[in-house]
Amino acid sequence: MWNLQQKENRLLLFLTAFFVSNALVAEFIGIKIFSVERTLGFEPLNFSLWGVQNLSINMSAGILNWPLVFIMTDLVNEYYGYRGVRALTRLAIFFIAYAFGIVYLAIAVVPADIWQNSEIDLNRAFAFIFGQGLWNIFASLTAFAVSQWIDVMVFHFIRRRTGERKLWLRATGSTVFSQVIDSFIVTFILFYFNPNFHLPFWQVLTLAVVGYSYKFVIALATTPVLYLAHGIIERYLGKELAHTMKINAAMK
């Protein structure tokens, strides 16, 4: 029986809730595109790449907390192994799909007369913000599933060769590699294979490279956060239990 009195089970419950919450929030805020340069107080760079002119660093707001999803993945990988991450990924995909289903139901119901505004079409705005489209859902879920699988494979590949040493290498290395897959799958499905919003190949490739470059920097920058979380978990579990869990996770 699953005993919540056991520290390892309480930890898994927390990591699962935090993981799914961040994945859901990232999906819903992802429709907003923001200027990285202007957010930091600079003018847009307007650079060129592969013949695509006047590029600037524009990102989906989903990137704000998406790195936390991969930190959670690495922590679950560390203490619960491949099976733990696989179960977590399936759970997140199920709840994301479920959430979008409820959203589409909310969009479909007829608005009441009191929910009106003379200046803004509230129902249309609601549908635009929350109903991000089937292509976006398909792209994000596909990229999420594939990138999570790649993250797990790379993490354990490095772990088998380094043991418990070099946490930064297996965590950051797996995240950096899996983010390549994530960035390119999302960008190409949304902007190249999507018949409703098709862009030229080189422009889509440029968007993917720019997006990945940002994720690469974030992956490196969040390495201290991973060590901080790892230290907190080690103190919570105790060295003996944490060591046992990591050994068991490496064999799963």
Note the pLDDT tens digit of each residue in 148-186: 888 888 887 887 777 777 777 777 778 788 888 888 888
The label of the residue with tokens 């201290």 reads 224
Count of CB atoms within 10 A of residue 124's CB? 11
Name 235's bridge partners: none
pLDDT over 80 (residue 252): no
Burial class, 66, CB count within 10 angstroms (exposed 0-12 / middle 13-18 / buried 19+): buried
Tens digits of per-residue pLDDT, 68-125?
Answer: 887 888 888 888 988 888 888 889 889 988 988 898 898 888 888 877 776 777 888 8
Q: Higher-confidence residue: 16 or 212?
A: 16
CA angle 80, 85, 89 (to 5 degrees): 155
- Mean pLDDT for all residues in the chain: 81
Tens digits of per-residue pLDDT, 29-73?
Answer: 877 778 877 888 887 777 676 666 666 777 777 778 877 887 888
Tens digits of per-residue pLDDT, 201-226?
Answer: 877 887 788 778 877 887 788 888 88
pLDDT at 233: 92
pLDDT classification of 236: cutoffs 50, 70, 90:
very high
pLDDT at 3: 67
CB 225, CB 72: distance < 8 Å: no
The label of the residue with tokens 């419950």 reads 13
Kindly report the pTM of this predicted structure.
0.78
